[in-house]
Structure 1
Amino acid sequence: MIGIEIIASVNRENAIFLTGETAYVLVTLRNTVQIGNSLAWGCVQLHCDQIQGKEEKQKPTDSVTSLSHGKTALYSSKPMIIFCDIKLNSGELLEYSGSFEIPAKLPPSFKGSFVKYSWYVTVAVQHVDAPFKLLQLPLRVLNFNIPIEMPLNTAGNPFLAQNYKQQVTIRLETIEEDLQNDKNVPNVTTHAVKYVVTMFMQDCQCILSIPGNAVPAFTTDVVCLRWRLHFDFLVSNGSPIDQSSIGCSTIKKELQCEKIPWDHYIQVHACNPFNVNLACPTSISSVTENV
């Protein structure tokens, strides 16, 4: 017999959490048929799966099932039984809840070129004398890394010796490195770019916005994600001023310039999950299924 609607939701607007937080799950059951209905049992469980890219998947040798597709379970909590042998009258509604602590040392939700990490809560229910059914509620998990290691100041910065810095380009980037295959070129994603003409300037300031839904740096046995500021300095040895005419100074039409790249790695921390809602207005916090 079918006719029981199951709604699984979390205790916030969007299903976004930090590692180390406790996620509270509410399961609502409602009988949608005109007669009484029953369920044998129901449980909830928290999962974290790792899915490797197509090139990294290891082909099974003797397995003929459809389960070996590069998907690996990194974490599964103990199943939490939330009800057993219940009966719902027509239109009756019952609510059950469970909670899970998200481990701090596991990777965050991430979809990259080499690997994907997904978090979700499964709700399993079973009618009497019928196969059990699963309902999955996806979660967005952000990692929270502490402490922060401040970069050391270097007195021998080679860029301080340049007299004429004409332009600088600053990019906020993430670098995704495949730790299982050195032949794969690291995947670089640019999140923000700033161009500044620094001719005749002693210093300059710029603002690069970090996306609210960005994934902080993390490392697993498969992938390493790091954040950096990539600088491209356009410098010249000669003065850009042309003083060929007496009493008149102009800018040279052509300059012999050289581009000098420099990478400065930074530590990015997760923001408040409630603020991530502003960057993820379309994410869901509940799922519904009829069983």
Structure 2
Amino acid sequence: MIEVSACLPRGSVYLAGETVKSQITFSNTSQNPSDTDSLAWSSVQIICQCSVSESRVHLPKSQQLSTEEVSTTGCDTSFVPNKGERGLTVLSTKPRILFCDLKLSAGESKSFIYEDVIPVDSPPSYKGQAVKYSYKVTIGAQKFNQPTKLIRMPFRVMVLHGLNDISVYTEGVYHVILYDSGLNDISVYTEGEEVSPSNPFLKPQQSENSLLDIAMQVLSTVTARKAPHSYNITNAKGKVAKFILFKQAYKLGEDIVGVFNFTDGTIPCVQYSVTLQSEEQISEECRKKPGQGTAVTSYVKHQEMCLHTAKTHINIPIPLTATPCFITDIVCLRWRLHFEFVTSSDPISESERPTNMDDAASWRGPATINVETMVWDLPIKIYPTSPIHASCVTMLKSGSCVQI
């Protein structure tokens, strides 16, 4: 019997455009020294499956890859990586053949390295209310005259949208150019022009940064704290509060920090809450019903009583398991902060503070309050983080094993 084990050495989270590296080991586990076992072939492929809610999404046939586009045939002895999978195959890399006619003696093992690039225009891994994208490295192997067996290793893909070209770093000045496509044309970072005489007999050395290093520097620039944004929160009766947000672009795992100032408010605010929410919007051509609304998912909520409060702040962590903003032909995902303010319709008097610091004072609130509720949505942008950082909290296993 042959045992096939596979693992992703770096972890199970990657950026679109990165190279996925997998180590695949074939071992003959027989205890009899005279036993020799063999495999006819083995092949590896990366696929992305898209499953949708049939009650909410209608997919055009042009959106899906047929089984023939993923594999040549559909019989039990062929390599069909999406066999038994739910949904549609929206992405499929070219199959890589590891070997043909592999023979292993008892106790013998042989390892292979599989590497392939995730296309930069791939959709991200996502599990929403109506749409789901999932990635797998699928390994197929077959013994002679036996059905093909598959090993699937799920992994997560994060996508950077809107970053296409990065200008060359010269003299320590950083410039970032924003475009509308993906990370598909990234220039090399250089340390600046050499001022020493060049040797015509030596090949010039260029220091290249990996796509991950470049992406992390771009993310640091895009999500850096700039000028704070100030918002006056008002209703028909007057001003409620002033809200200050230090930035509007965040990476996964960061904290959203904001400050409320109620000192200039003319309307008493009794309570407020701030919720981090995602909005899942299906494209018009894929909606099942014409008037179909947006699906909202809440993640983290901060709630506080703020009557007679002068200043306070919020600190909302962004989960590392969340999916950053993205858009495909089927779905668009956006992020927002959802505010709810409970204000009093009548003025609420505050107790007089004692002039002497040693004296004590007590205040009893009214038994009933006539209140009104107002809501406000503030759009924000959420970008990916380091895949290595995100791998620390993922529930996906980076290894798999099967007996053939």
Q: Same fold (TM over 0.5)?
A: yes
Instruction: Name the residue aligned to 2:376.
Output: 262
**In the superposition, relative to structure 1, how do residues 250 and 289 fare at CA in structure 2: closer, same or farther (>3 Å)?**
closer
TM-score (norm 1): 0.83
Aligned counterpart in structure 1 of residue 309 of structure 2, from 201, 205, 215 = 201
Distance in 2 between the 1:126 and 1:101 partners? 25
**1:52 paired to 2:52:** yes
Matched residue type, 2:158: L
% of aligned pairs identical?
A: 28
Give the length in aligned residue pairs.
280
Q: CA deviation at 1:261?
A: 0.6
- Secondary structure, aligned partner of 2:388: helix
The corresponding residue for 1:284 is 397
CA separation in 1, counterparts of 2:137 and 2:334? 28
Matched with 2:327 is 219
Q: Which residue of 18, 21, 25 corresponds with 1:21?
A: 18
Say whether the 8 Å CA contact 2:45–2:95 is kept in structure 1.
Answer: yes
Deviation at 1:71, TM superposition (A): 2.0
Structure 2 distance, partners of 1:170, 1:253, is 26
Task: State the Cα distance separating 1:156 from its structure 2 match.
Answer: 7.1
User: Which has the higher mean CA deviation after the structures are superposed, 181-190 or 30-39?
Assistant: 181-190
Contact 2:308 2:350 in 1 (8 A): no
Distance 1:207 1:157, change over 3 A: closer
1:188 corresponds in structure 2 to 296
Are 1:169 and 2:277 matched, yes or no?
no
How big is the shift at 1:178? Answer: 2.5
Identify which of 5, 8, 15 aligns with 2:3.
5
State the SS of the aligned residue for 1:38.
Answer: strand
Structure 1 gap segments, 5+ residues each: none
1:31 corresponding residue in structure 2? 28
Q: 1:121 aligns with which of 130, 133, 137?
A: 137
Structure 1 letter corresponding to 2:317: S
Q: In 2, Cα distance between the equivalents of 1:198 and 1:133? A: 61
Using structure 2 for the length normalisation, give the TM-score.
Answer: 0.61
SS of 1:274's equivalent? helix
What whole-Å deviation, never above 9, does each CA across 1:162-209 have from its counterpart, x for those lacking one? 312332110011122232224433222211111122323343211111
Equivalent residue of 1:241, what SS?
coil
CA contact (8 A) 1:241 1:252 kept: no
Cα shift at 1:277 = 3.8
Which structure would you say has the larger RCO, counting Cα contacts within 8 Å and 6 or more residues apart?
1
Q: For residue 112 of structure 1, what is the amino acid of its counterpart?
A: G
Partner in structure 1 of residue 336 of structure 2 = 228
Structure 2 gaps, min length 5: 62-73, 75-82, 164-221, 241-265, 352-360
User: Which structure dedicates a bigger proportion of its chain to strand?
Assistant: 1
1:234–1:260 CA contact under 8 A, matched in 2: yes
1:125 is displaced (CA, Å) by 1.7
- Code of the residue aligned with 1:94 in structure 2: it is K
CA RMSD of aligned residues (A): 3.3
Match of 1:93 in 2: 109
Can you list the C-alpha shifts for 1:204-241, whole angstroms capped at 9, x where unaligned? Answer: 21111111211112122222221111001122354211
* Cα pair 1:212 1:278 within 8 Å, conserved: no
